[in-house]
Amino acid sequence: MEGLKLDFISFEAIENATSMEKIYMIIERVKDGSVVVMEGGLSPAERTELIETTMREIDIEKFVGIDVHTLEKDAKALFGLKRKKQVVITIVGPANVMQTVKKQSNLLSVVAKLDNS
C-alpha cells in the first residue's frame, strides 16, 4: 500500500522565511503528494499568494490543487477582550488526497485517500 507522507514544519523553520519561500516550501511538498502540517498561519497576502501559486502549478492530470484547513485559538487583545482568532496549525494537502474533513471548534479530523484505497 502506498503510504501517506506527513511533513511537520515548526514555527522556527518558517519564521525568518520570506513569503515566497514559505509558499514554495508548502507547494513543492504538496505537489509531491505530502500533507503539510505547519505551526502557525499565513498572512492574508500569503494566503492569496498560495492560491495564486497553486493555480500556476496546477497540471490538470497530475495536480488538481490544494485543500487548506486551520485550527485557531482566541487571541486576547487589550483588556482581555476576545477580538480575533489566531491560527495555531495550518494543514495543506493535495485536493485529491484530502477526502473528508470535519471541523469542530478545537478538533480537525481529516480522512486522506491513498493511491490504491
State which residue, 1 or 84, has the beta carbon closest to another protein.
84
Under the binding rule (CB under 8 A), the answer on residue 47 touching another protein is: yes
Q: Parallel, antiparallel, or unpaired: how do β-strands 35-39 and 6-9 relate?
A: parallel
Under the binding rule (CB under 8 A), the answer on residue 54 touching another protein is: yes
Under the binding rule (CB under 8 A), the answer on residue 10 touching another protein is: no
Interacting residue with another protein among 18, 48, 86, 109 (CB under 8 A): 48
Under the binding rule (CB under 8 A), the answer on residue 91 touching another protein is: no
**Helix (H), strand (E), coil (C) string for 38-54:** EECCCCHHHHHHHHHHH
The H or E element spanning position 22 is helix 19-31
Under the binding rule (CB under 8 A), the answer on residue 34 touching another protein is: no
Q: Residue written as cell 502540517? A: 37
* Closest of 27, 25, 18 to residue 52, by C-alpha: 27
Ranges within 92-111 binding another protein (CB under 8 A): 95-96, 103
DSSP state of 59: B
Interacting residue with another protein among 43, 73, 76, 115 (CB under 8 A): 43
Question: What's the one-letter identity of residue 65?
Answer: G
Q: Which residues of the chain form contacts with another protein (CB under 8 A)?
A: 43-45, 47-48, 51-52, 54-56, 58, 60, 64-70, 95-96, 103
